[in-house]
Structure 1
Amino acid sequence: MFARNHSDSRAGLQRALLAGCCAALLSACATSPPPKRHPPPAARQPAAPSGDSYVVQRGDTLYSIAVRLDINFKTLARINNIAPPYRIVAGQRLSLHQTETSPALPPARPAATDHAAPPSQATATALAASPTPAVTPAKPPAAAEDTIPSIYDNQAPITWRWPLFGPLARGFQDDGNKGIDITAHDGETVAVAANGKVVYSGQGLIGYGNLVIVKHNDTYLSAYGNNSRLLVQEGDEVAAGQPIAEAGSVGDKPPTLHFEIRQAGKPVDPLDYLPRR
């Protein structure tokens, strides 16, 4: 009987100790501060043009960057040692000003001269002893009809024409509008103003809508903005008067074509180049 009571008392003591431990653990959990949560890293914002450099974004071309920043694309290419056909990649940082650390273009190779040094006596003897090679008749030149001339000619003079024949809605302003705005009908054909090559076709430049940029030579570019539809792609060669887009509008504005001419990267008044009408 005594052994049984002793066993029950011991079991009760164990239960009491266990209950006390559980109560202490619950109390500690209730008063302990919650674990610290670290906020997720902020999304990386695309780099914007700064005073000295620009980070290439997806869809950029050297020409579209030059138009956006009012820089001659040839100057931008030279500063960054970018050779034709001026390929750039997203994430690439472009310098906007020539610095001491800017890479320099490799020096031009010296042109071949028409004067050759006289051969040595040993060389002359070896040449005299060698058999005379058989003369292979020259291949006749290809017929004129087999040669398709390129529309784009970097040396040809530029003859400008109006890309669209609507009334002038807004003129050129040195400190404002970088081109002219021509009143259009929605879907009206936009024609290229001179022979050239399409170097940009897209909508990556804010404020220009669907945009086409055409290179005419190393000095002149033309730009055609606010289009509803683009009809050409980058790399296409286009002849003066060829349809390249259909006019449209940006926002709730009436349909207009925004037309620019850039000389060495700088906007100029298109009315100084287009024929009078």
Structure 2
Amino acid sequence: MSIMKNLRLFCVCVIFFASGILSLWSEETVYIFKKGDTLYKVSREYNVPVDVLVEYNHIRNPQAVPEGLKILIPSIYTVQKGDTFYSIAMRFSLSADVVMKANSITNPGSLKIGQRLYIPGAGNSASRVSSTTAAVTTNNTVASLVWPHPGRRETYNNKVSGILINGEKGDLVYSSCSGRVIWANPYRGYGNVALVYSPNGLVYGYLGAEQLVVSVGEQVEAGSAIGRMGMYFHETDAKLLFFVFNNQTKTYMDPSQVLQKR
């Protein structure tokens, strides 16, 4: 199959891919305490344990939370059809037991569509960077880097706007922005995929990596290594597909224009 046919097919898939993941994965939510609220009530509403809310927000007196106090609700995941504790845990680089224990669930068959699960550690991303990733990031950071790779770029405009970047297999791929990794897994024959959610609501996508050195929940900085380039679209040359997705408008942006604004 030609690269153009693969790209057209991927255009359709990636729209559901990026927007779908973001609709299931909730970033930190700000909650303002109202009269009569308790931590227990909030924990039941968001399905996050009380002790997690206390530790996450450094609350000194859990029994007397004042009205008007703003707290952060850690990230949660909404269960979809076909999900299992194992598949959800794998998505966030955890074990099924850890996810079940964090949500006080003992029966693995009790999972329901629409159920909201607290993902331990994903909200506190700074503390979850592995020693391997930290070492790669420290030794391979390029302070002035804007593009994820310096190779020849090909603009692609169809149902999505993206950039194909040519390089050599094994070349380092760098993050173009700072933000949180919300996906770091293979995806439907397109190699390893990393999605980084930036503070301004944009999602930066890196597809076709031979290897990723980041995990879901980790915080990355602009210019830090996130993986290595691999073969893409069954071509003989190594390529990286790079895109920028606006999570608010659910549209793809021209990476060239986005990066020029930096």
Question: Which structure is higher in strand share?
Answer: 2
TM-score, normalization by structure 1:
0.45
Question: Which structure is higher in helix share?
Answer: 2
Larger radius of gyration: 1
